[in-house]
Structure 1
Amino acid sequence: MHHREHAAAIAERLAREETGALGVALVGSVAAGTDHPDSDIDLIVAAATDPGVRVTHVEGRMATLTRKTPADLAAAFSDPAQAPAAVPAWRSARILTDPGGHLAAVQARALAWTWEQVGAGADDWAAGQLVGLAE
């Protein structure tokens, strides 16, 4: 089995096993199709409880499961520190389970996202980062 198909099969299995999930999406290099045999498997789990990150090893692959509430997932698009990573991750995400449509809504928001949604907050954040680096 090709490493990408192997990673996708592991992701599918982990998604089915994730308790309390409102939805599970595969993101990162496996979802984008840029992975290699040693790439980890990145899963986002929308859940109402137990936010956090869990790392596990399955069949020789590292898998990272990040649990966030739907509100926290949506908030990333208006945060200038998170948006540059969240937008491309969600644009290439592969939704594995999503019975309530929570993750489809997050992905649709990513596909429609523009910098105007962050607004002046991006300039303020960048200025603060530059000042911090200069000190």
Structure 2
Amino acid sequence: MTYKITRMKSLLLALFLTVPSAAVAAYDVDAGVIDIIEVEAKKDHQALQISFGEKKGNKFCNDPSAQFVDNAYLASTSDNYDAILSVALSAYMAGSKVSIYTEYDSSEGHRCIIKKIRLL
């Protein structure tokens, strides 16, 4: 009986360790100090664009179809909009380096969509 419980615990542990890593998306990532934060507000749309600076060679997306690869974009309708804007503004004000994780999305104007931001 003890062998079966120990074996089951080992199998459950292996399952918990492998399933989350298998579900993690492969994002593109770029790191730097935020130089430009642009919040665009129109009548029916609001969005955030972040850049480490123009013509510095940064590339947020590796997809060849991506436009504006030196800008990371996020629509205000995204679930994480407020949190990402808050961290981005804090990093900008402090001059801190960040990593920005993006994913290419053709339905969002062929842009690099921000999925996560991390202070370094």
**More strand per residue:** 2
Q: TM-score with structure 2 length normalisation?
A: 0.24
Higher Cα radius of gyration: 2
**More helix per residue:** 1
Q: TM-score with structure 1 length normalisation?
A: 0.22
